[in-house]
Structure 1
Amino acid sequence: MATERVVSVDARRVRRVHAVLVLLSFSAGAADAFAFLALGGIFTANMTGNLVLIGMFSRPEFAQTLVTALIAIVSFVGVLYAAFRLTVPTGALPVTQRHTLRRLVLPSLVLQTLVVAIWAALRGDVGMVERCIVISLSAAALALQTVAAKKLSDIEGVTTTYVTGTLTTTMHDLAVRSAHGQGLRVLSVVALPVGAVSATAALLLAAELCPVVAWLPAVAAAILLLSTSRP
């Protein structure tokens, strides 16, 4: 009976973590759509897209795209490195779910809240300096989410800020007739465009509230699931 109870608790914990990963994918899709539509046509989660944009020198207003894309990349990469360093296991002690929540997901929420506050204060009247600040904060928040997803996931190939690797692993496992983790991968992939739809609709209906509607509820729900899930 005790063993069954432990297995049941562990299964619930895994399901909660999987739900968190899907929510973070939704959040990344919403953040990228918001950045692309409202912050000058760049991304704050999809750095592959930004690298491609940097090379599109014939694009109108390329100088602005170059600057903002570089800011997003530098912010994302810098925070990514810092987050991985911050969560390196010490000795025999692993990085726990609680550490991931406290050191990665909560700071990500703080940064996204700053984005919301700045966007609301500007009321859509975003100059170049303000745009760069918002992009930097959003990219940093998404970098923290990326590391959090890597630390939390027990399924290979699940990412929350880009899906090329997820799609590759999904197709590989389909080819070799493996079903392990396929459900989570599919949900993670689907959540990304659903988040983008949410942000796009929010921009059309209530532009000033877009960041609040689009991704803060998803990250808040992820934090709630993590904080109530005992490792």
Structure 2
Amino acid sequence: MKKIPLPLLLSFNGGYVDTVGFLALGGLFTAHVTGNFVTLGASIALGTGGVLSKLLALPVFCVVVFASRIIGIVLSRSGRPVLRSLLLGKLVLLLAAFAVALIYGPFNDPNSPAAFAMGMVLVAAMAVQNGIHRAHLPKSPPSTLMTGTTTQIMLDLADIAAGGKSENTTVAYSRLKRMVLAVIIFALGCGAGALAYVLAPIWCFVVPAILAICAPLAQIETPEGD
């Protein structure tokens, strides 16, 4: 049986987690954290909840990326596997998020301590995922943000539409396939997250943990770097 490439699994998980987090936690982006600048302004202007979570999402994200990088360097220098260790760390965070959802969910008040804790744990998990992607899968499209990928798709389409058989168009064709697939998988993750939240607003949080369990078994096309 052919394995699913790790970047695609991460893209689906990124779309899924960002969607369920947004729906469950008062409009908090747990993966696309810079989007919280917009929702923070909306929360302040409209008097909606979750201001603290949106304010601290980016600092927490940055601290976790920094920490995961330091951990990866230490593991590498000691001869231990880096990528799989970080994937295990992300799994622990997603299991913790599921435990919080089971105990305290659903999160009807985005200002509650439980909702804040849930949001920061999910932000931390997605920070680890982002660090993994940048450090170990640099040739793959991002798994949590599709704006840059979509821009590149349109640039490649323009190069192809201009005609010719140059080396640039050959590269564009190859890159286009990977990026279109990444966007489709991310969108499917968003759709699955929305549906899961509607059907099971608490149990929907078990899916990211299950996907994280499957991650070490996925196909890894680029070296770990460790």
Q: TM above 0.5, one fold?
A: yes
CA offsets per residue over residues 156-215 of structure 1, 9 Å max, x none? 6x10111112222223333332223322211211122211211211122222211113x2
Alignment of 1:218 onto 2:211:
yes
* Counterpart residue identity of residue 60, structure 1: G
Q: Report how far residue 125 of structure 1 moved.
A: 5.0
Whole-angstrom CA distance in 1 between matches of 2:19 and 2:101: 15
Q: Work out whether residues 11 and 143 of structure 2, in 8 Å CA contact, stay in contact via their aligned partners in 1.
A: yes
Aligned equivalent of 1:65, options 50, 56, 67: 50
Whole-angstrom CA distance in 1 between matches of 2:80 and 2:195: 33
Whole-angstrom CA distance in 2 between matches of 1:123 and 1:52: 25
* Counterpart residue identity of residue 172, structure 1: L
Q: Report how far residue 41 of structure 1 moved.
A: 1.1
Residue 173 of structure 1 is matched in structure 2 by 156
* Counterpart residue identity of residue 153, structure 2: T
Alignment of 1:25 onto 2:11:
yes
- 1:207 is paired with a residue whose SS is coil
Residue 185 of structure 2 is matched in structure 1 by 191
Residue 140 of structure 1 is matched in structure 2 by 124
Q: Report how far residue 126 of structure 1 moved.
A: 5.5
Aligned-residue sequence identity (percent) comes to 27
Name the CA shift for 1:60/1:133 in 2 (closer, same or farther; >3 Å). same
Whole-angstrom CA distance in 2 between matches of 1:152 and 1:99: 9
Aligned equivalent of 1:52, options 32, 38, 49: 38
TM-score by length of 1: 0.79
Whole-angstrom CA distance in 1 between matches of 2:115 and 2:147: 28
* Counterpart residue identity of residue 37, structure 1: L
Q: Report how far residue 84 of structure 1 moved.
A: 2.6
Q: Work out whether residues 10 and 129 of structure 2, in 8 Å CA contact, stay in contact via their aligned partners in 1.
A: yes
Residue 146 of structure 2 is matched in structure 1 by 163
Mean Cα deviation higher: 124-133 or 80-89:
80-89
Whole-angstrom CA distance in 1 between matches of 2:107 and 2:174: 47
Q: What root-mean-square deviation, in Å, do the aligned CA atoms of Structure 1 and Structure 2 show?
A: 2.9
Mean Cα deviation higher: 145-154 or 37-46:
145-154
- 2:142 is paired with a residue whose SS is coil
Task: In structure 2, list runs of 5 or more residues that go unmatched.
Answer: 160-168
Q: Report how far residue 148 of structure 1 moved.
A: 0.9
Name the CA shift for 1:123/1:69 in 2 (closer, same or farther; >3 Å). closer
Whole-angstrom CA distance in 2 between matches of 1:87 and 1:184: 27
Whole-angstrom CA distance in 1 between matches of 2:135 and 2:5: 14
* Counterpart residue identity of residue 74, structure 1: P
Residue 118 of structure 1 is matched in structure 2 by 100
Name the CA shift for 1:80/1:138 in 2 (closer, same or farther; >3 Å). same
Structural mapping, 1:82-121, within 5 Å: 82-88=67-73, 98-102=81-85, 104-121=86-103
* Counterpart residue identity of residue 132, structure 1: F
CA offsets per residue over residues 30-63 of structure 1, 9 Å max, x none? 11111111111111001221112223332232xx
Alignment of 1:131 onto 2:125:
no
Name the CA shift for 1:219/1:184 in 2 (closer, same or farther; >3 Å). farther
Whole-angstrom CA distance in 2 between matches of 1:132 and 1:211: 15
Task: In structure 1, list runs of 5 or more residues that go unmatched.
Answer: 1-14
